[in-house]
Structure 1
Amino acid sequence: MAMSTPLTADTIRQAPKVLLHDHLDGGLRPATVLELADAGGYRDLPHDDAAALGAWFRESADSGSLVRYLEGFAHTCGVMQTEDALVRVAAECVEDLAADGVVYAEVRYAPELFTEGGLGLDPIVEAVQAGFREGERRAAAAGRTIRVGTLLCAMRQNARSLEIAELAVRYRDSGVVGFDIAGPEAGFPPTRNLDAFEYLRQQNAHFTIHAGEAFGLPSIWEAIQHCGAERLGHGVRIVDDIKIDADGRAHLGRLASYVRDRRIPLEMCPTSNIQTGAATAIENHPIGLLARLRFRVTVNTDNRLMSGCTVSSEMAALVDAFGYGWPDLQWFTVNAMKSAFIDFEDRLEIINTVIKPGYAALIG
């Protein structure tokens, strides 16, 4: 009988992975931030050395200060205000994901954040799409196959959700696979954007909603029951509707039962959740309980630059914390592929021809 491949950082990187929750402006290479700042005349970076700058982003995200955390995005968005910059960042994003063994990814961004230099929404989307296609070509040339879909985000504190939803539908035949709302949950419930979600449903378009990260069960309930979310961005606070007896037996409330029974995917981002206070450490992150209870859990990065993480490093941390093996990592990966916003036949093909054979070779 063939021996199972040992679980290490390198072997996890070799395994096929699927990423559903990754922000384009949260995943730049530090050296690229410096070069784009120099080319665009952006003078507000805290460091002029790539290593020091990368460390600053991670320390800011770890600081516990929301002001410092958001300052990092001010810098990345500040250098992404031209078409050339957007193409470059998007292409490098795909290269980096492919190098980490990601075979399918949905990368999201808010087009309204890149208009400060005068770009319109359509040119922004077209530049990012051109970058993603270029990144796929570069990955293929390096012997790695990856497919990337785009999610367009509206900022929930602004009043442009319907406009961005219409933009997502306009480009859905060009690689934009869905819509999302991001930004502060507290004070900005998803129901503020009902017109956008009603439009998307009428257009048979896909959407996920950031919910249950910084705010609790009401955010999740509104996202699902009022807005019709197909997936939940983060969704960690669903554990507030689960009670655990002294003997370890779990009792699910009605909302938690609904989320599990309907197989609503949870786009969980462990390291990011620790940085934002949704969990205190990997070993007590709700992902452990939710996976044990067989919610449709997926493993994601959120912001690779700010969190200093990859899909592989997130999975490796879960292996260390919860003792997961290859079958568990395959389960997370298949969960994510089942939950992707591309055609059913395309999802099945990736599962059956890429993911399952890849893990079979590792399981032995």
Structure 2
Amino acid sequence: MTSETTNVPTPEQIRRAPKVLLHDHLDGGLRPATIVELARENGYDRLPETDPEKLGIWFREAADSGSLERYLETFAHTCAVMQTREALVRIAAECAEDLAADGVVYAEVRYAPEQHLEAGLTLEQVVEAVNEGFREGERRARENGHRIRVGALLTAMRHAARALEIAELANRYRDSGVAGFDIAGAEAGFPPTRHLDAFEYLKRENNHFTIHAGEAFGLPSIWQALQWCGADRLGHGVRIIDDIEVAEDGTVELGRLASYVRDKRIPLEMCPTSNLQTGAATSYEEHPIGLLSKLRFRATVNTDNRLMSGTSMSREFEHLVKAFGYTLDDMQWFTVNAMKSAFIPFDERLAMINDVIKPGYAEIKSEWLFR
């Protein structure tokens, strides 16, 4: 990418810069200390570690293990302590606080309501508890001098059969804190077309939805998400790189699907660290976000699961700055991409860009004038 300045941001400047997050899982971002406390309160005795610091290390090592079984086990532990109203309110509030402290000014955080019913909550009670927590977290952030707005994405599990029910739930709460809908889970063997009734319903209701596609599975998953289901965004979408050829002389040729994604400005919710853990990329330097950004796809930077990846938005950008030499101008480009792609009304997106994001970056850039 080209940039007006050659100055590379420091970690502190990266943290202070306004950031926008579109792909973050609530059950993948708990504080280790909160997991330990909630497990103790609710009699959950299956945690692999009861010391918060050691537990955090365990989550990261399990996610890095290369074992799908161990990776999935991590979510079994987090979901186990997310079964009461009080727990959901607390976890959602802490999520908003943590993101705001990291410089995130707008976030869409996703979770699957159907995974939080074991203690007797209804789907509606789950949504209302999480929404309450997000509002509380926003309030606490303001008290600490931070600004953040958090919207929820309701996720349906692609191996289950409740997608239409969750889509209807998302539509019911669309003016009460829920920004849109998502499906997640194993791609192979569970194509998004299994849930066409949910996507057709959302389109009839003029509602927004994203689909996990092109992470573990390839181009067919992306094609189905777009052409059969009509997704507004692609969760990950990293395998779109399979439809791009780079010749030895540097000439780049896009296939028809890649051209369509770029031409239609379909947002890619890219999660570099998570992609390394799942094998979708081999290193930060080789991550497709580098080429996709050069080709001006609408790439965005995201965290996916902050606990399992031991990451944050600032850390994701630190890795990319080191790998590709990105500057504050590049960070702003990614951030504006994300804000343009958010599931809130156009005028509100524009206000965030013009009143929060651009002034925030301009303030940091002005510091260089006095070096």
Instruction: Place the TM-score, normalised by the shorter chain, in its bin.
Output: over 0.9
Q: 1:55 aligns with which of 30, 49, 57?
A: 57
How many angstroms apart in 2 are the aligned matches of 1:261 and 1:63? 38
Partner residue in 2 for 1:119 = 121
Partner residue in 2 for 1:146 = 148
Deviations 1:273-295 (A, max 9, x none): 00000001111000001001000
How many angstroms apart in 1 are the aligned matches of 2:138 and 2:310? 23
Partner residue in 2 for 1:205 = 207
Partner residue in 1 for 2:36 = 34
Q: 1:24 aligns with which of 23, 26, 35?
A: 26
Q: CA deviation at 1:247?
A: 1.1
2:260 corresponds to 1:254: no
How many angstroms apart in 2 are the aligned matches of 1:308 and 1:113? 23
How many angstroms apart in 2 are the aligned matches of 1:329 and 1:249? 26
Q: CA deviation at 1:4?
A: 8.5
Cα RMSD (Å): 0.9
Q: 1:221 aligns with which of 220, 223, 240?
A: 223
How many angstroms apart in 2 are the aligned matches of 1:327 and 1:55? 34
Deviations 1:63-99 (A, max 9, x none): 0000000100000000000000000000000000000
Q: CA deviation at 1:6?
A: 5.4
Deviations 1:307-362 (A, max 9, x none): 00000100010000001111100000000000000010000000000000111122
How many angstroms apart in 2 are the aligned matches of 1:278 and 1:249? 24
Partner residue in 2 for 1:156 = 158
TM-score calculated relative to the size of structure 2? 0.97
Partner residue in 1 for 2:68 = 66
Q: Is the 8 A contact 1:154 1:161 kept in 2?
A: yes
Deviations 1:213-253 (A, max 9, x none): 00000000000000000000000000000000101111000
Partner residue in 2 for 1:108 = 110
Deviations 1:134-157 (A, max 9, x none): 000000011111000110000000
How many angstroms apart in 2 are the aligned matches of 1:142 and 1:269? 28
How many angstroms apart in 1 are the aligned matches of 2:93 and 2:67? 31
Partner residue in 2 for 1:270 = 272
Q: CA deviation at 1:17?
A: 0.2
Partner residue in 2 for 1:299 = 301
How many angstroms apart in 2 are the aligned matches of 1:306 and 1:232? 21
Q: 1:240 aligns with which of 242, 248, 252?
A: 242
How many angstroms apart in 1 are the aligned matches of 2:251 and 2:7? 33
How many angstroms apart in 2 are the aligned matches of 1:6 and 1:260? 27
2:318 corresponds to 1:316: yes
Deviations 1:37-86 (A, max 9, x none): 00111110000100000000000000000000010000000000000000
What secondary structure does 1:239 align onto? helix
Q: Is the 8 A contact 1:165 1:179 kept in 2?
A: yes
How many angstroms apart in 1 are the aligned matches of 2:180 and 2:145? 28
How many angstroms apart in 1 are the aligned matches of 2:19 and 2:75? 26
> Which residue identity does 1:39 align to in structure 2?
E
How many angstroms apart in 2 are the aligned matches of 1:11 and 1:329? 11
Change (3 A) 1:5 1:238: closer
How many angstroms apart in 2 are the aligned matches of 1:327 and 1:195? 42
Q: Is the 8 A contact 1:298 1:333 kept in 2?
A: yes
Partner residue in 2 for 1:194 = 196
Q: CA deviation at 1:363?
A: 2.2
Gaps of at least 5 residues in structure 1 are none
Q: CA deviation at 1:8?
A: 1.5
How many angstroms apart in 1 are the aligned matches of 2:81 and 2:152? 20
Partner residue in 2 for 1:81 = 83
Q: Is the 8 A contact 2:8 2:327 kept in 1?
A: no
Change (3 A) 1:5 1:99: farther
Q: Is the 8 A contact 1:4 1:362 kept in 2?
A: no
Structure 1 runs (4+) greater than 6 angstroms displaced: none
How many angstroms apart in 2 are the aligned matches of 1:4 and 1:123? 50
TM-score calculated relative to the size of structure 1? 0.98
Q: Is the 8 A contact 1:235 1:267 kept in 2?
A: yes
Gaps of at least 5 residues in structure 2 are 367-371
Change (3 A) 1:207 1:247: same
Aligned length: 362
> Which residue identity does 2:137 align to in structure 1?
G
Q: Is the 8 A contact 1:5 1:362 kept in 2?
A: no
How many angstroms apart in 1 are the aligned matches of 2:109 and 2:320? 22
What secondary structure does 1:174 align onto? coil
> Which residue identity does 1:144 align to in structure 2?
H
